[in-house]
Amino acid sequence: MDTGSPRSRPHEQECERELVRLLVEHGATDLERLIILQDKGWNDTTTELHFCKQRHTSDTCSPKLNLIWFKRMKILFREIDSNVDVVSFTHGLVFLDLGCSPGVSLPVEEGGHEFLLESDYLTRFHLLSANLTYFELGPHCNDTVELHRLPMYMSVPVFDLVLLDGHQLRTQTTSVPWDRDRLLISQVIIGLKSVRQGGTLVVKLPLPHRHIAARIIFLLRILSNELVGWKPLCMHANRGQFYAVAKGVGEGKSGGNLQNYIEKLGLLWSALTFGGEDNVGRAMVPEDLDFIISMNDLRDHHLEWLLEYGKPFWKVQANAMERFYLKKGIY
């Protein structure tokens, strides 16, 4: 079943099970309900067939369906903005969009999406077709891998708003299993480099009970002066992602350490890109993000905060899955 977040890799499962157990023990009733519903879906043939068909449709969509998805994504971001006030119109807005045209998006010939922005807006936007995982973002590079220098306009903190919405595409022609980790870390690095002091960062993440998401969320919390979030109802409500929204980036209690975190994320990027047994990269492990906060410290000192932050997102997905099961007659 596809609920938006792949099953955890074996090395992660124990870490995430423990976090889920503690959250449930402390009152995360909707998370408990969600886990039960997900287990039901993993073991139901009807549900699996539905999501297989949905994946096939997404991977082979026609130009007409591409346009429908484009319009629905506009509705989705409008919903986010109307609920958590992402866009400020008090002055001219300069923004960067990573992973979704317009902005920086995977080239169509490599499996990326078509550029469908209305012609009236084209003079206001610049599109860069590129694979985000092939920018040089760490201190250590390898001549055997063809990398590209990050454009200067994405290397300096000038953007009022940065949207990080890239995700690993099944249609991508060249990828390795750990590219989804490299893609996330690449986006976070670029986002933190390019957002201006006091700007806003919007990041699509797995739900907060996932160990990687929990630490990224914590980082956004300590770097910004306000952290909110939204899980859209109009689209993908039964999927395991939401949008974290960090406002006032660089102005939080650890805002002065922003550059230090960027450097450590760069070291992690290098490990994910050139590490592993054959020096061709590797997947992320829970310990990789201990420079933000260890899982022990998160569980011991910040569990209540994580619980309160995650409650509305777990509820949205659990409710959406219940509606889906009822519609399919699975109950």
- pLDDT per residue as tens digits for the range 250-298: 999 999 999 999 999 999 999 999 999 888 899 999 999 999 999 999 9
In this prediction, residue 7 carries a pLDDT of 44
Residues with Cβ < 8 Å from 167, sequence gap 6 or more? 99, 180, 183, 204
Residues with Cβ < 8 Å from 132, sequence gap 6 or more? 98, 99, 104, 106, 166, 183, 186, 187, 190
Confirm if 240 and 273 have CB atoms less than 8 A apart: no
Buried b / exposed e along 239-269 (16+ C-beta atoms within 10 A): bbbbbbbbbbbbbbeebeebeebbeebbebb
In this prediction, residue 269 carries a pLDDT of 96
Q: Which of 161, 220, 236, 157 is CA-nearest to residue 194?
A: 157
**Residue 169 CA to its chain's centroid (Å):** 13
- HEC string for the chain: CCCCCCCCCHHHHHHHHHHHHHHHHCCCHHHHHHHHHHHHHHCCHHHHHHHHHHHHHHHCCCHHHHHHHHHHHHHHHHHHHHHHCCCCCCCCCCEEEECCCCCEECCHHHCCCCCCCCHHHHHHCCCEECCHHHECCCCCCCCCCCCECCCHHHCCCCEEEEEECCCCCCCCCCCCCCHHHHHHHHHHHHHHHHEEEEEEEEEEEECCCCHHHHHHHHHHHHHCCEEEEECCCCCCCCCCEEEEEEECCCCCCCHHHHHHHHHHHHHHHHHHHHCCCCCCCCCCCHHHHCCCCCHHHHHHHCHHHHHHHHHHHHHHHHHHHHHHHHHHCCC
Q: What is the pLDDT of residues 151-186, one digit of tens each?
A: 999 999 999 999 999 865 555 556 677 889 999 999
Question: Low-confidence residues of the chain, pLDDT below 70?
Answer: 1-11, 44, 50-51, 53-61, 89, 100-114, 141-145, 167-175, 331
10-328 falls under which CATH superfamily? Vaccinia Virus protein VP39 (3.40.50.150)
List the chain domain ranges. Answer: 10-328
Confirm if 256 and 244 have CB atoms less than 8 A apart: no
User: How far, in Å, are 37, 53, 321 from residue 330 at the CA level?
Assistant: 11, 17, 11
**Calpha distance 83→86 (Å, rounded):** 8
Beta strands 95-98; 159-164: pairing state = parallel
Calculate ∠ Cα 322-230-321, nearest 5°.
10
pTM above 0.95, yes or no: no
